[in-house]
Amino acid sequence: MANGLLETLKDRLGLGVLDYEVEEHANSIPYSLGGMTTASFILLILSGFLLAQFYTPDPERANQSVHYLMDQIYLGWFLRGIHFWSAEVLTVTMMLHLVRVYLTASYRAPREINWLTGVGLLLLMVVMLFTGTVLKWDQEAYEALDHFLWVAERMGIFGLPLTEKFAQGVPLLNRIYMAHISMLPIVILPVLGLHLFYMKYHKISPHPDNPQGGRKIKFTQHMAYLQRAGAGVFMLICLLALTIAPPLGDKAILGLEVTKPPWQFVWLYALENLWVPFLVVAPLVLTLILVAIPFVDRGKEIHWKKRPLAIFVLAILVIAIVGLIIWGKVTTMTHEM
Amino acid sequence: MPKSSFSALLLGLLFTVWPAGPAGAHTGHKEEPVKAEKPTVEGSIYAVEEEESEHGVTTEGVDLPGSSFSRTDIFSEEIPMTPEPMQHMDHGSMLPMEHKMPEVKLAEHEWVSTGQKGYGAAAAITLLSGLVFGFLSFKRPGG
């Protein structure tokens, strides 16, 4: 009887469309990193809904409203911890997903568009991370915004909408908050939808050890695996939120530069110390490299052991970024903006 | 100069320098004394109504119930909407490089205190998430 009811529900809700076959290797951690990133993003949205109930996007009150949430609201500290650690976990799983796709050459034809939508999502998530950092409006936030404004000013007419001059009288913090909770998610969701659609359309990329394809499983089995991965991600985030509180400083003292950015931006901070215009040049060059990858690498071989040049480029990039992050963490800024 | 010419010149001068105001008296224009007007924001979305209660007390400066952030709260300090030019300090020592600057307490990760509001509930949520993950792993969906 229960089976009959399930079958009826499946029929009425059209769940039968999820019964298509996928490669068995989809049910492995490397090929579920995108799913884990999506799980973190869903957690970010849900916790963000609740956080928005307590946040005041006013330069005079923003920082205090976050302190109030942390100290006075029941479970407020845990809620903010969930939001913060979801973003951290998302950063890690997203970067690992990018590396896995690169290593298995999954960006090659016919999956170029999926790679490009992935790069778009990466950029949007970086902007989300940046705007989220600014919202707490402490010293770190204020300095991050100051660096951003420096870049925006150098972008001329293209940077104007990102400055206060665009909407005089409206605090920039208000507009950043609007972008964080409304504009960016509205852009991210359709791009994520496209990313998932093209993954379904072109099917999951072949495993390098078995390019011709192997055993198949139902997509619903893959969804069950992703459910488990998502539960694991949620448990990890809860554990982190329960033990380590996200940093939160006092209201910013304007005109000083004493903090360093979150680790995701430290490599850029270190480059900026070498040559200030790197702040504009480096993200641009890195984005162009990422966009160009599927159009430059047109080879047929997908196993990483047989792609020494691609692996060399990746190794150089990873070593450079990790090295810059470490250097940025230990060095003292000497540049003048 | 002939007498008639002198009279004509005098008459011309009289009409020329005659004040323009009285001359316009029949045109319907009525000059009113200039008053310095107070700019109004009535009807604007930025208008702040200063409602008077039945007892004649305004709400300005009064902490309204349910409002944690009133106009007289601790956040009243002015903050410019855009950052000012930066002055760099030594990150390691926090000592000012040139002249004395205000001390900034850097935000860092801290261990969560078990005395936080709802710590028990948070621990229960974490435990529950672990149980759900354990259950789903035990089932081993899809291999």
pLDDT reported for residue B83: 52
In sequence order, which residues have a C-beta less than 8 Å from that of residue A106 and are 6 or more positions away? Answer: A100, A115, A205, A302
Does residue B100 have a pLDDT over 50? Answer: yes
Contacts of A138 in chain B (CB under 8 A): 107
Put simply, whether A257 touches B (Cβ < 8 Å) is yes
pLDDT reported for residue A248: 95
Does residue B44 have a pLDDT over 60? Answer: no
- What confidence category does residue B39 fall into, taking pLDDT thresholds of 50, 70 and 90? very low
Mean pLDDT of A120-127: 98
pLDDT reported for residue A1: 62
Contacts of B77 in chain A (CB under 8 A): 60, 251
Six token digits for residue B92:
């390691």
pLDDT reported for residue B116: 94
Question: Facing residues of A210 across strands?
Answer: A207
- What confidence category does residue A171 fall into, taking pLDDT thresholds of 50, 70 and 90? very high
Phi, psi of A256 (to 5 degrees): -105, 155
Mean pLDDT of A270-298: 93
Of the ranges A146-155, A237-246, B82-91, the best mean pLDDT one: A237-246
Of the residues B76, B91, B94, B100, the best mutation for testing chain A's interface (the one with the most A CB atoms within 10 Å of its CB) is B91
The alpha carbon dihedral of A78, A84, A88, A90 has a sign of positive
pLDDT digits (tens, 9 = 90+) for A15-62: 888 889 999 999 999 999 999 999 999 999 999 999 999 999 999 999
Residues in chain A: 337
pLDDT reported for residue B84: 52
Give the mean pLDDT of chain A. 93
- What confidence category does residue A3 fall into, taking pLDDT thresholds of 50, 70 and 90? confident
Mean pLDDT of A97-124: 97
Mean pLDDT of A264-268: 93
Does residue B88 have a pLDDT over 90? Answer: no
CA distance A85 to chain B (A): 12
Amino acid residing at A214:
G
Rg (CA), chain A: 22
Amino acid residing at A174:
N
pLDDT reported for residue B26: 40
Interface A–B counts its CB contacts (< 8 A) at 170
Does residue B29 have a pLDDT over 80? Answer: no
Six token digits for residue A297:
């690498």
Report the range of poorest mean pLDDT among A127-141, A165-179, A190-204, B98-112. B98-112
Does residue B66 have a pLDDT over 80? Answer: no
Contacts of A24 in chain B (CB under 8 A): 143
Element (H, E) at A294: helix A278-296
* Partner residue opposite A244 with nearest CB, options B109, B133, B141: B109
Does residue A315 have a pLDDT over 70? Answer: yes
pLDDT reported for residue B94: 43
CA distance A136 to chain B (A): 11
Chain center to CA of A202: 23
Chain center to CA of A55: 22
Put simply, whether A172 touches B (Cβ < 8 Å) is yes
pLDDT reported for residue B141: 53
DSSP state of B105: -
Does residue A253 have a pLDDT over 60? Answer: yes
The alpha carbon dihedral of A44, A47, A50, A52 has a sign of negative
Contacts of B74 in chain A (CB under 8 A): 64
* Partner residue opposite B110 with nearest CB, options A227, A245, A251: A245
pLDDT reported for residue B15: 46
pLDDT reported for residue A2: 72
Mean pLDDT of A84-105: 97
Report d(CA A89, CA A43) in Å as an integer.
11
Of the residues A40, A58, A216, A256, the best mutation for testing chain B's interface (the one with the most B CB atoms within 10 Å of its CB) is A256
Put simply, whether A276 touches B (Cβ < 8 Å) is no
Distance of CA B77 to CAs A61, A172, A200, B1, Å?
9, 17, 54, 79
Other CB atoms closer than 10 Å to residue A174's CB: what's the count?
Answer: 15
pTM of the model: 0.78
Does residue B105 have a pLDDT over 70? Answer: yes
* Partner residue opposite A60 with nearest CB, options B75, B125, B142: B75
How many helices (H) and strands (E) chain B has is answered by 3, 2
- What confidence category does residue B65 fall into, taking pLDDT thresholds of 50, 70 and 90? very low
Q: Are A166 and A160 in contact (CB under 8 A)?
A: yes
DSSP string, A169-235: TS-HHHHHHHIIIIIHHHHHHHHHHHHHHHHHHH-SPPBTTBTT---EEEHHHHHHHHHHHHHHHHH
pLDDT reported for residue B108: 86
Mean pLDDT of A198-225: 92
CA distance B66 to chain A (A): 13
CA distance A260 to chain B (A): 8
Is A257 close to B88, i.e. CB distance below 8 A?
yes
Put simply, whether A239 touches B (Cβ < 8 Å) is yes
Distance of CA B4 to CAs B11, B12, B16, Å?
11, 12, 18
pLDDT reported for residue B101: 63
Amino acid residing at A166:
F
CA angle B61, B62, B67 (to 5 degrees): 110
The helix-helix angle for A76-103 and A219-243 (nearest 10°) equals: 130
Distance of CA A312 to CAs A61, A67, A305, A319, Å?
49, 46, 11, 10
Report d(CA A46, CA A316) in Å as an integer.
37
pLDDT reported for residue A273: 87
pLDDT reported for residue B7: 55
Does residue B23 have a pLDDT over 70? Answer: no
Pairing of strands A244-245, B110-111: antiparallel
Of the residues A64, A66, A218, A238, the best mutation for testing chain B's interface (the one with the most B CB atoms within 10 Å of its CB) is A238
Phi, psi of A153 (to 5 degrees): -65, -35
pLDDT digits (tens, 9 = 90+) for A180-201: 999 999 999 999 999 999 999 9
Question: Facing residues of A13 across strands?
Answer: none
Report d(CA B65, CA A185) in Å as an integer.
34
More reliable by pLDDT, A125 or B74: A125
